[in-house]
């Protein structure tokens, strides 16, 4: 599996290494999230040989399980591509009623996605086509709600968990302190000392 991110910080790198995974990080020619995370992400991922790939935000995520566990959970879900979920519909709250009525967290979060490399590249290209401005989560949301993506949202938090709203971190593979919710560094320090 190719675990990749843009501008990964030392905590993310350390969390991946602790779980035996090499994190590949690229530094985009940053003009915005659609350019940096999607367009340049496609270029980066296209050159990688691994059959599976997982993208995580580089400055507010932690890897909490080894690769074998992550891929086993993906296989159990039976989806070629899975994207993180969150409780709030951001950045466009007015589209919340267009999402399926499922228990929270019901809205997609572009801070983490995993699948076959081929499916991921196709989905990233599709999200780029649906982009309006430079918000990558808006691009993913528009493509998803437009029916253009073959993607499953991780409502059950089997792989990804977005933090916030007083949520306690469960048995997940990736913790994502989206929007730089506080507590990531403290969580990591407690985990490493325990």
| 151-183: burial string, b at 16+ Cβ within 10 Å, e else | bbbbeebbbbbbbbeeeebeebbbbbbbeeeee
Strands 2-6 and 23-26: parallel
For 77-132, write each residue's pLDDT tens digit. 999 999 999 999 999 999 999 999 998 899 999 999 999 999 999 999 999 999 99
115 neighbors 152 (Cβ within 8 angstroms): no
Confidence (pLDDT) at 32: 81
Separation of alpha carbons 144 and 122, rounded Å:
13
The mean per-residue pLDDT over the stretch 154-177 comes to 91
Please give, one letter per residue, the 3-state secondary structure of 148-183.
CCCCEECCCCCCEEECCCCCCCCCCCEEECHHHCCC
pTM: 0.96
- Strands annotated E in 45-106: 52-56, 61-63, 81-86
Confidence (pLDDT) at 165: 64
To the nearest whole percent, how much of the chain has pLDDT over 90? 88
Confidence (pLDDT) at 194: 77
2-193 under CATH 3.40.1160.10, yes or no: no
CA atoms within 13 A on the CB side of 1: 24
Strands 107-116 and 81-86: antiparallel
Q: Any idea how long the chain is?
A: 194
Domain segments of the chain as ranges: 2-193
The mean per-residue pLDDT over the stretch 135-147 comes to 97
Report the candidate in 82, 90, 85, 89 with the shortest Cα–Cα distance to residue 105. Answer: 85
Helix pair 117-129, 136-145: axis angle to 10 deg:
100
- Tell me the CA distances in angstroms from 35 to 125, 128, 147, 148, one per residue in order: 12, 9, 22, 20
Mean pLDDT of the chain: 94
Say whether pLDDT at 167 is over 90.
no
């Amino acid at each position: 599996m190719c675990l990749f991110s843009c501008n990964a910080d030392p905590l993310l790198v350390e969390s991946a290494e602790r779980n035996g995974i090499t994190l590949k990080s690229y530094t985009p020619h940053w003009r915005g999230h659609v350019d940096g995370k999607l367009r340049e992400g496609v270029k980066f991922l296209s050159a990688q040989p691994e059959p599976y790939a997982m993208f995580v935000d580089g400055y507010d995520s932690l890897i909490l399980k080894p690769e074998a566990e992550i891929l086993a959970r993906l296989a159990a879900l039976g989806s070629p591509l899975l994207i993180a979920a969150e409780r709030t519909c951001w950045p466009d709250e007015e589209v919340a009623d267009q999402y399926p009525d499922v228990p929270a967290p019901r809205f997609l979060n572009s801070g983490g996605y995993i699948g076959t490399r081929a499916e991921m590249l196709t989905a990233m290209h599709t999200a780029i086509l649906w982009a309006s401005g430079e918000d990558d989560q808006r691009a993913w949301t528009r493509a998803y709600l437009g029916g253009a993506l073959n993607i499953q949202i991780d409502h059950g938090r089997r792989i990804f968990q977005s933090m916030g709203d007083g949520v306690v971190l469960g048995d997940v593979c990736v913790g994502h302190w989206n929007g730089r919710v506080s507590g990531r560094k403290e969580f990591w320090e407690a985990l490493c000392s325990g």
